[in-house]
Amino acid sequence: MKNFRNRQLLGKTITAFTFLLPLLVLYSLFIIWPVFQGIYVSLHKWGLMGKIRFLGLENYRLFLSDKFFWAGLWHTTWFVIISVPTLLLTSLVVALLANRETPFKKVFRVSYYLPNILSVTVISFISRFMASPYMGFISTVLHTFGILAPGQEIMWLTNPNLAWIVITSATVWWTIGFSMMLNISALQDIPSQIYEAAEIDGAGKARQLFSITLPLLKPTTYLILLLQTIASFRIFGQIFLITNGGPGNMTRPLIQYIYEAAFRQYDMGYGAAMSYALFLILVVFSYIQIKFQNRGEK
Provide φ and ψ at 66, rounded to 5°: -95, 115
Q: What is the pLDDT of residues 159-198, one digit of tens each?
A: 999 999 999 999 999 999 999 999 999 999 888 888 888 8
Angle at which helix 218-233 crosses helix 268-297, to 10 degrees, equals 170
**118: phi then psi, degrees, rounded to nearest 5:** -80, 155
For residues 265 and 246, what is the distance between their CA atoms, to the nearest angstrom?
19
CA 179 to CA 229: how far, in whole Å?
12
- Low-confidence spans in the chain with pLDDT less than 70: 1-4, 296-298
Rounded Cα distance, 154 and 48, in Å: 42
Rounded Cα–Cα distance for residues 94 and 111 (Å): 11
Q: What are phi and psi of 269, to 5 degrees?
A: -65, -45
- Hey, how many other C-beta atoms are within 10 angstroms of the C-beta on 160? 15
pLDDT of residue 297: 63
Q: Where are the beta strands (DSSP E) in the chain?
A: 44-47, 50-54
Residue 248, helix vs strand vs coil: coil
The pLDDT score that the predictor gives to residue 229 is 92
110 conformational bin, left if phi > 0, alpha if psi -120 to 50, beta if neither: alpha
